[in-house]
Amino acid sequence: MESILEPATKMQQSDRGIRLSFSTSNDGLMLKKIQAVHVPDGRAIDVRPLLHIVEDILSFAAPGGDAIVETGKQATGTEAFQHQTNYQTNITDMLETLSFLIDRISIEMARKCSETMEEHATTMSILSMVSNYPWDAKLVIALSAFAVNYGEFWLLAQCYNSNQLAKNLAILKQVPGILQRSTMLKSQFDTIKDLITAMLDIAKCLVEFKEIPSNYVTEDFAAAVSAAMDHIPVAIYWTIRSMLATASQITGLSGSENEFLSSLESWELSSLVHKLSSMHSHLVGLLAICHKQIDERKFIEAYQNLQYLFNAAQIDNSKVLKALINPKDDPLPLVDGANKKRVSVDVLRKRNVLLLISDLDILQDEVVILQQIYEESRRQSNSLDQNPYELVWLPVLDSSVSLSKIKQRKFENLAATMTWFTLHHPSLLNRAVFRFIKEEWRFEQKPIVVVLDPQGRVTCSNAIHMMWIWGNLAFPFTIAKEDALWKAETLTLDFLVDGIDPVILKWISEERFIFLYGGEDIEWIRNFTHTVKTVARACGIAMEMVYVGKKNPKENIRRNMAIINEEKLSHCLPDITAIWYFWIRIESMWNSKHQLGKADENDPITQEIMTLLSYDGSEGYGWALLSKGSTEFTRAKGTTFLTCLSDYDLWAEDVQTKGLVLAIHDYFLLNPTPHHCNQLVLPGTADRLPEMVTCSECQRTMERYILYHCCDE
């Protein structure tokens, strides 16, 4: 067997009579010969527009039984015409330079295919013609020349029945012979189609290598680039060789005497398909390594750029917001929740911007309360030139994981409920932004609100606790404002319930006795409310009761509310959202204090907050708080309070001298529970929790545990 690397000088025979040799050693020798005719002159050329046109030609002219039988369909498609027209403006100047060379190569291919040819010599001849061009340009130029001949042939075939000029030319080129045998030749056409696909894959891969930014070509992936450069010249050789083989087979089929490819010819085409596919797979693997390392460098650069922007002085917030919200240069990355139209990030320029950062598990209750706060700010700003702040939802999802259809629908449903600005799609946040939000702003699972002033400076890394506690009173949501609000605050009943239920605020203003009570056990609730009513009648005092449920209310709390209302046991907060809001405010009070570094157990507000949280977190029947007006109150666990009320006769006389609240409070002091078991469940993560917490009842240091909790009720 004669090697394809040796010229066929001893015998004049077609290459179809020579078996192809695909050995690695031969490719190694071939590499040296190919590199010997590679003499680039430094010219820069972007061949992607040319490759697009070539791909269109080869796609529309692809052989196949259906494409030939249904003549005329591909040639008259307006969509195809418009698609190709898009490239014309970019390619006109290039073709003025390359058209003569493309024509020379196409003539060389056509001439050799009609002769007894030596494909290796022809391939090397074509490589010599493009010796001054970069590697990717060599292949695309050669592929363009192939597409000219190939496209002309199939254009005649497709127009044969609809255009007399095409029909006459087709007859001269013996095209009708192929048309008549199209069904019998389908398997051969399919093999040719596969080979053309493999050629295009190699060309596109080489263009991608060329488009790797030179500033990222460093020692980090020098090995991958070096390996690619060892394979690219050989891949180009075999792709051009495949063009010649394809052209030769089409020319051979044009003769009326040739109905089938010989077994050797079929093996040759199939072997070339396999060889190019293997080369492509290897190059794609090397390209993936390069892209991975480039992406890593870009990721580091983007992350460092975010750090720099947030630490450097800015004229306004434009650069910060574009780096954060629009790193992918989408012209309209946001959706205006008011009208659901896409808008530019420029709508936020020089504004106070609140970034609502969450995953897709943000609670509907959170959205509802934020909606109320946001709409209130809009109503308050009617007398102002503009709104005091803009709210933007950034859905933070791992960009390395594609968005499933379920999550896509969940995102769309959430965005539809928001009247503020939302990100058009979670994928607009790149990996660097994802890491920045997680590490710099310490986002984990619970939503946070990061506040940026008009210059893009972070004035508060999480203002959501301020918003839950004070709403728009906390504007501009700075640390200084939060500190000032706490200095002016005392823990009163109206502060605990705020504007959650106007009925309670009315009772407070009327100086009524009010019981707030919570828990899950409906039998304890029935017993407690019955006992309160009995004591109220005995004292001759009107007492109001309000059920506030439990933190993270579930279906059992909803059932309790229904029973309480149906049996008229007491008043309830208006709905589940109101119950959630009552508890999230108390939890936020602790978070806010802790965030400011002022969660001191000697602080009376902190003490009461932790007591209420321990009541809610402890096992048992429930708890209750009795208040008169706004400032006078006492509280205890459910069993303790129930025992106190049952022992009414023991402290009844004190009501006349001390008043109801103080009489009950003194009873608690004189009758401490013999034992207790309090659990305080604090929000947050282990690194943010206090090292030591004292029990609200006995003042001893509580044992510390880490609780992992999941409840899908």
| pLDDT single digits (tens) 103-142 | 999 988 888 766 655 788 899 999 999 999 999 999 999 9
Q: For the segment 473-492, what is each residue's pLDDT rounded down to a tens digit?
A: 999 999 999 999 999 998 88
- Domain region containing 29: 25-64+88-211+223-287
Question: Does the residue 233 lie in any domain?
Answer: yes
Identify whether residues 456 and 513 lie together within a single domain: no
Residues 441-461, mean pLDDT to the nearest whole number: 94
Instruction: Please determine, for residue 102, whether its predicted confidence score (pLDDT) is greater than 60.
Output: yes
What mean pLDDT comes out for the span 69-74? 41
pLDDT bin (cut points 50, 70, 90) of residue 81 is very low
The verdict on 441 and 570 lying in the same domain is no
Please indicate, yes or no, whether residues 474 and 621 belong to a single structural domain of this protein. no
Residue 280: name the closest of 197, 188, 159 by CA: 197
Q: What is the number of domains present in the chain?
A: 3
C-alpha of 514 from chain center: 49
User: Does one domain contain both 405 and 501?
Assistant: no
Higher pLDDT residue, 532 or 88?
532
What are the pLDDT digits (tens) for 581-611? 999 999 999 889 888 887 666 788 888 888 8
| Residue 309 is assigned to a structural domain of this protein | no
Same domain, 379 and 512: no
613, exposed or middle or buried, with CB in 10 Å at 0-12, 13-18, 19+? buried
Confidence of residue 682 (pLDDT cuts 50, 70, 90): low
User: Is the pLDDT assigned to residue 170 strictly greater than 90?
Assistant: no
Q: Residue 336 maps to which CATH number? A: 3.40.30.10
Same domain for 418 and 513, yes or no, is no
Among 436, 452, 485, where does a domain finish? 485
Q: 237 and 130 in one domain? A: yes
536 and 606 housed in the same domain: yes
Q: Is residue 307 part of a domain?
A: no
Q: Is 78 part of a structural domain of the chain?
A: no
> In the listed set 287, 307, 333, which residue is the last one of a domain according to the structure?
287
Give the pLDDT confidence score for residue 176 in this predicted structure: 59
Residue with the larger pLDDT of the pair 479 and 693: 479
Q: Are residues 44 and 159 located together in one domain of the fold?
A: yes
The pLDDT value recorded for residue 178 is 60
Q: Would residue 351 count as lying in a domain?
A: yes
CA atoms of 260 and 252, how far apart (whole Å):
9
Q: Do both 461 and 513 map to the same domain?
A: no
Asked if pLDDT for residue 291 goes beyond 80, the answer is yes
Q: Does a structural domain hold residue 112?
A: yes
Predicted model pTM: 0.76
Residue entry with tokens 């986002």:
443
- 76 pLDDT more than 50: no
- Residues 427, 507: one domain? no
Domain limit, last residue, from 444, 463, 485: 485
Average pLDDT, the chain: 82
pLDDT band with cut points at 50, 70 and 90 for residue 613? confident
Q: What is the pLDDT of residues 198-245, one digit of tens each?
A: 999 999 999 998 888 877 766 666 666 777 777 899 999 999 999 998
Q: CA-to-CA distance for 172 and 111, rounded, in angstroms?
A: 16
474 and 547 share one domain:
no
Q: In whole angstroms, what is the distance from residue 397 CA to residue 42 CA?
A: 44
pLDDT at 70: 42
Q: Could you tell me if residue 406 is inside a domain?
A: yes
Q: Is the pLDDT of residue 699 over 70?
A: no
Report yes or no on 677 lying in a domain: yes
CB 698, CB 668: distance < 8 Å: no
Mean pLDDT of 467-474: 95
Position 679 scores a pLDDT of 61
